[in-house]
Amino acid sequence: MPPASPADSYRAPAWLPGGHAQTIWPLLCKGPRPHLRRERWATPDGDFIDLDWLPHTPGAPLVVLFHGLEGSSDSPYARSLLRHLDSLGWNGVVPHFRGCSGEPNRLPRAYHAGDADELDWILERLAARHPDVPRFATGVSLGGNALLVWLGTRGSAAGRHLQAAAAICAPLDLAAMGHHLGRGVNRLYTRHFLATLKARALAKLRQHPGLFDPAAVRRARNLHAFDDLVTAPLHGFRGSDDYWRRASSKPLLPAITVPTLVLNPRNDPFMPAGHLPGPAEVSPVVTLEQPAEGGHVGFVSGPWPGQLGWLPQRLVRFFTAAGKA
């Protein structure tokens, strides 16, 4: 049995049935892009990341959004969350993973689903710059898994940087997700990701010749093959299986000490519901919410053509309640 969901948990509109439709539709109703200010940070290893900020409101809470695979501050969920934060007078920032801000990063490495050290550096710096305001973080899909890995590996130390966190549609079991995306109609999502991942990898080869075999990258037909050739070796893993095992956040959920919402629709095409955790598999401060619908970071609500307001409102309610606890 899935964990009980709150009364205000997500319910899809009747005109948008099914996980695939609920996943794809947000691309058609993502709304206007908020006004953002870009800042570049030099990384300790000689690279850089770009952060997109809402206009600053002194004394207001700060929400940090870690985007998903090949995402950015322009992703539908990022636009909707940033607009909502702006309407409340809250501060918001999207730190882009390396190479995701529209400009290739300098080093061979990029980003991956268990990149807790990168998140640690980002969150520590944000906490030092905004020490006197409530700080919250949410991660979406890959970014959600990375945030959960950071929370689980840092334990009580994570509370120095964040008052609460949320992971949305995180692939908690990377092997389950990878194999699931290689089956049936789900392979359409794999093809979509591989198109941009391969292009980015081949561009990286032009910067750093000899990193991997370009012909083998072009032949990769699934995420396991791509991660085996590119993601794993560039980030210190022995291969896809090692990467997927060590970077999965599900085994770390019992070690989380910061109040954390883990939101996973049970019809998410990326993550089979049978691999989602139950209450006995997580820390007491982790709230599992597993609505029947929602797709992969869909959460469309309202009459046709719909809007994306449910998720930002749910996040702010959770953060507000956690901040008062």
End-to-end CA distance of the chain: 28
Select which of 101, 141, 240, 249 is catalytic.
141
Centre a 10 Å sphere on the Cβ of residue 196 and count the other Cβ atoms it contains. Answer: 11
Number of separate helices (H) and strands (E) present in the chain: 11, 8
Could you tell me which residues come within 8 angstroms of residue 79 by beta carbon, excluding any fewer than 6 positions away? 30, 31, 32, 33, 34, 73, 308
Report the alpha-carbon distance of residue 12 to residue 89 in Å, rounded: 28
Centre a 10 Å sphere on the Cβ of residue 271 and count the other Cβ atoms it contains. Answer: 24
Report the alpha-carbon distance of residue 45 to residue 96 in Å, rounded: 16
Tell me whether residue 96 is one of the annotated catalytic residues.
no
Tell me whether residue 296 is one of the annotated catalytic residues.
yes
The token duo for 246 is 């060590």
Helix (H, G, I), strand (E, B) or coil at 263: strand
Q: What angle do CA 300, 301, 303 make, to 5 degrees?
A: 120
Report the alpha-carbon distance of residue 8 to residue 202 in Å, rounded: 45
Residue 242: name the closest of 174, 177, 297 by CA: 174
Tell me whether residue 268 is one of the annotated catalytic residues.
yes
The token duo for 120 is 């640690």
Report the alpha-carbon distance of residue 69 to residue 105 in Å, rounded: 16
DSSP 8-state secondary structure symbol assigned to residue 1: -
Instruction: Name the burial class of residue 1, with classes exposed (0-12), middle (13-18) and buried (19+) by CB atoms within 10 angstroms of its CB.
Output: exposed
Q: Catalytic positions, please?
A: 141, 268, 296
